[in-house]
Structures are given as C-alpha cells and as structure tokens.
Structure 1
Amino acid sequence: MCDLLFCKPLPAIDFEASHRIALAERPDNALHVSAGGRSKRAVGQFSKFWAPGRTLTIGFFNDTPTEHKAAIEKVARQWLRSANLKFDFVDGAFADIRIYTGGDDNHSHVGTDALLVSPMDATMALSTKPDDPLFGRTVLHEFGHVLGLLHEHQHPKANIPWDIPELYAYFAAKGIDRQTVDLNLLDKTDKALAKGTAYDRTSIMHYAVLQEQTVGDWEVGINHTLSRRDRAFARRIYPKVIA
C-alpha cells in the first residue's frame, strides 16, 4: 500500500502497554504542558523516545545480502551524528529493531513501540533497494520513526492548503480509503507532541505534496536529506548525557 507519498508509521499494538513501556524507558515521555495548555486531544498522549545514550540492536528478519545491509546501516547512522544513541547492527533477527527487506512496503513502529512487537515479527519494513533513487530518503524517514519522530506534514502549524476532494481521489485510485488518508495526512499532531518546534517543510519526515493536491501555488518536493531542523530536533530529544 505504501508509495513515496504514503508510508505510514504503525500504530501501537496496545495503547496501555505502549504508554507503560514508553514511560518505563524514559519518564519524560509523559507530556508536560503549561497549565491550561493541554487540549482534550492531548490527554493520554505521550512521546515514544528512547533514553539518551541507549544502544539499539538492529537485525534483519529475512535473508538480506550483505551489501544491502551495509547500505541501510550507512544511511541510518546519519541520524547518530546528531542523536545521542548507538546502533548495533547484529547478525540474525534477535534485536530491538527487526527489519524485513522483502515485500513491497516501507513502514515502521514508532520509537519504543518496537519493544511491544512479538519477536516472531519484524518492527520495520524496508522494501526499497539500494539502487533505487529513493533508497536514502526512505531509510532516513523510517529510522526517523524508529527514533520516535512523527510526520512533519501533520505538524499543528503546517497549514497545508489541501484540495481535499482531489487528495481523496488521488489515493482512492491507489486503493487507499478516506479514513486512512485522514489518519496519515490530514489529522494534525497535537501541539504538545510537537514539543514546541516550528513547522519544517524540508524535514525528512515530510511527505512530498503534489501541486495538484493543494489549492493555489503550494507543493513540497521529495526531501532526500536530514534538514537542519531534523538534526537540531534529534540533538534536543537525544542530548549528550553529562556524567
């Protein structure tokens, strides 16, 4: 179902378990907003970031050529230039993050939700191959979800002038229903989850937006690299730990 414009992060398997494991990993995953600043929608929401300095083991769920694994690792490690985390790519599928490179999907569980996935299942799908021009963009985007990042086009201050009938028609032709489009494109992230950040149309976490999907002169091309704000956000969420 996923294409360049539509690669959804997977929802939590169990809301209560998701909340519990996120706070056990990192207590400040609980939302903190000023008095009167919490919207009804924010009640019960929480972030899914890992503890700064954490080592995440990463394995492959299916037979994947060595060169393919190395290409994924090389791209994924770009996040570590900013985020205080470690990636330990291991042999086999026994790992925190388990990547399936078969099939035709690209998606990932968000942050600590990966810990809730049965060890018999993958936590991420990366069907895009290293010779695909979108390979780097796809790996960076999905590993953004691994770090707990959400979609930037759903930022509360995005204000994208969607042509909603055209948008529904575009995805209906791909077999994607309106509810799924609402969930993954039109619904806004609560401002408390946005952590006070400004909207960034150059973010790797932003979908491409076609001109014909909006009203007026508005579009976003394919973002292939981490933006300046992506890196700043990664440093802010995963700061260096001072002993």
Structure 2
Amino acid sequence: MPHQHPCKTIIPIDEQTSYEAAFDENPDNRQTVHSGGRNKRGVATHSKFWASHRTLKVAFIDPPSQAHREAAINAIKLWQPSINLKLAFVSGTAGDIRITMVAPLNYSAVGTDATLRAPHENTMNIGTDLKHPGFESAVLHEFGHALGLEHEHQHPKADIPWDKPFVYHYYLTRFNWSKEEVDHNLFNTLETLNTRTTPYDKTSIMHYPIANELTIGDWSVEKNHSISQNDRRLMRKIYPKSLPSA
C-alpha cells in the first residue's frame, strides 16, 4: 500500500488578515504574550477558534462517491460530542468548511483561516483513499484543524529529539516537501502557549506518527487512529457545552 501523505496546514497569505478574521469571528481569539514583563499582542499568537454555539456548515465539492462522502461525515461526527458547535452537512458547495477528496494530499486551513479562502476554493482536502486503513484518522485529523487545533507534535512541551537533516531528506524524497514545508508542519514550535490548556499528548489525533529513524536515540510515536481523551478535554474547554451565565 502506498505511503499515506501527511497533513499540511494551509498557511495564510497574511498573518494580520488571519488575526482580524479570527477576532471578527470570536473576540476570545485575541491573545496576549508576555515579553520583558509587558503585555503585547502578536499576530503569531492568536488562536483561530469558531464562535461558540454557532452552526458550522460543512460542504463537499465533487466528492468521488456518495459512500466516500458518507464515510467522511461519519468520521467528522465523532468530534460532535466534545464541541458546542452544530455541524450541518449541507448539499451544494456553500459551506464554512468546503471539502474536496482528491488523491493523494491531505491538508486543511486551521479554524477561522477557512474564511480567508475564496467561496469557490476548498478549505480542506482528504486525499487518503476510502479503502486505506488510515482514512478515518485522516478525516479526524483534518477536521481537528478545521475546528482550530494545531499539530500536537509542535506543542511547546513536546521536546522531540528530531534528526533534522534526515527528516528533511525523508520528507523531500517521499513527499517532495521543501525545507520550509517541513519547518512549518514539523519543527516550528507553536507560540500559542495560552491556547494550549492541556499537556503535551503523544496519543493526540493531531500528532504525526514519528518513526524512530526520524529521531536521535530511541524515540517514536505510533500512528494514532482516534480522538484522545486530552483532545476531547481541550475541545470541551474551547467549545464548552454550557452557555456562560449572564
């Protein structure tokens, strides 16, 4: 079976526009960072979560089959118990989340960055084949991004002993990734410390599998196939079920 392509997040063209879109959708996305004892806002630190209790419309753009579409919907619905958003799967292509299913790439905009995409553009692609054993986990991972989650292996506390020269070679030769793409999706540590309300979680659906050959010493992470308890705990904090008291 061919290698399953790892996920790439869609990088916004302009971080200031990304911040403004996130703040317009949900003022709680405004973040402050501590630097030299003073508070300042940095656009690189904002979160991208949707407004609580809103309806998130999910559309599919030319899915290859009804079975393919339904399998993706069934996987996406596994997130529903842990969020206060209403997921509405709409006919047609006009959705907040617009999914294509073109092999082989897997990628997604992160949360409110989906609003920066043109109406005719997808915000996510599920390129893993329906019959691949990793199909459901690919959908869960990409939709985690759609809900605003970042890659878990980039958690500030991950401290992964990467063999960086070999990782660059591995991703170039297997997936034709540039150094910049590897940096963005693997090595860059997330600065959003105050959006990370759970400890680093090796079992997160948002974590890449990491083969021992990609690290120095004896360190690896198996492929995760389901939403972890910490994933759900984090989602319940971001999208709490109860309405805030007046």
TM-score normalised by L of structure 2: 0.90
The letter of the residue matching 1:156 is P
CA distance in 2, matches of 1:104, 1:38: 46
Q: Which moved more, 1:152-161 or 1:62-71?
A: 62-71
CA shift at 1:83, angstroms?
1.0
The letter of the residue matching 2:214 is Q
CA distance in 1, matches of 2:39, 2:6: 28
The letter of the residue matching 1:43 is G
What are the Cα deviations for residues 179-238 of structure 1, in whole angstroms up to 9, with x where unaligned? 221121111001525434310010000000000111111100100000110000000000
CA shift at 1:95, angstroms?
1.0
Matching residue of 1:238: 239
The letter of the residue matching 2:215 is T
Matching residue of 2:217: 216
Which residues of 2 match residues 133-212 of structure 1 at below 5 A?
Answer: 133-174=133-174, 175-212=176-213
Contact 1:82–1:234, Cα closer than 8 Å, also in 2: yes
What are the Cα deviations for residues 17-52 of structure 1, in whole angstroms up to 9, with x where unaligned? 221111111101011456857899x72231100011
Distance 1:193 1:185, change over 3 A: farther
TM-score normalised by L of structure 1: 0.91
Post-superposition, which runs of at least 4 consecutive aligned residues in structure 1 deviate over 3 A? 32-40
Contact 2:106–2:128, Cα closer than 8 Å, also in 1: yes
Distance 1:191 1:102, change over 3 A: closer
CA shift at 1:177, angstroms?
2.3
Q: Which moved more, 1:217-226 or 1:42-51?
A: 42-51
CA distance in 2, matches of 1:200, 1:76: 21
Distance 1:37 1:105, change over 3 A: farther
CA shift at 1:104, angstroms?
1.8
The SS at the match of 1:8 is strand
Distance 1:180 1:55, change over 3 A: same
Which residues of 2 match residues 1-243 of structure 1 at below 5 A?
Answer: 4=4, 6-33=6-33, 43-44=42-43, 45-174=45-174, 175-242=176-243
Contact 1:72–1:139, Cα closer than 8 Å, also in 2: yes
CA distance in 1, matches of 2:38, 2:92: 43
CA distance in 1, matches of 2:100, 2:172: 27
CA shift at 1:16, angstroms?
2.4
CA distance in 1, matches of 2:39, 2:157: 15
Q: Which has the higher contact order (CA 8 A, sep 6+)?
A: 1
CA shift at 1:63, angstroms?
4.1
The letter of the residue matching 1:62 is D
RMSD of equivalent CA atoms: 2.0
Q: Which moved more, 1:166-175 or 1:226-235?
A: 166-175
CA distance in 2, matches of 1:100, 1:235: 28
Q: Which moved more, 1:114-123 or 1:224-233?
A: 114-123
Distance 1:103 1:5, change over 3 A: closer
CA distance in 2, matches of 1:217, 1:92: 49
